[in-house]
Amino acid sequence: LPTFLLASNEPTLLSAAEPILLALGGRVEVVLSAQAALASMTAVNAPALALVDANLPGMPMGQLLAALRAEANGARFPIVLISDTIGEGWTNRLTEGAIDDLILRGAEFADWQPRLGLALRTYSLEHEFETLRAASAQNAQRDSLTGVYNREALLAMLFRETDRVQRSN
């Protein structure tokens, strides 16, 4: 089962969001501080989705997102932020890809499940696309029967090496 991270110390939010995450078909890990959220998101088994309260105590949210980016070790999962307002700073973070969605704290909880489900589906499709792209790149360079590099790949490597030799005399 996938793990969904729920990072908030607000009891009302926790009691309303946990059943929504459970309905998406996973188990919920609840953390109450920014440090615990960062530890969970950078762990070997990163969550499949992180639902994070912008008012999480421990460190400013911008600092948490920057630390996550620095320590994520290539792990990628949707991060949905719960905020009181949608300001320019949050929209910039959406544009940059630091967060994947932003939900207003006052929004109806019934509207959360489709948005969280969409974030999970989008991530799943992105992951599938990246896997297919890598397989396609592999197939374009290697013979499917023997697994050795094909003519085009060998020529590209040869030209790259001859260019390197010429540059370094």
Q: Is the pLDDT of residue 82 over 70?
A: yes
**CB-based burial, 128-149: b 16+ in 10 Å, e otherwise:** eeeeeeeeeeeeeeeeeeeeee
The half-sphere exposure of 128 on its side-chain side, counting CA atoms within 13 A, is: 6
- Reported pTM: 0.73
Q: What is the pLDDT of residues 86-139, one digit of tens each?
A: 888 888 888 888 888 888 888 888 888 888 888 888 888 988 998 999 889 888
Q: Is the pLDDT of residue 2 over 80?
A: yes
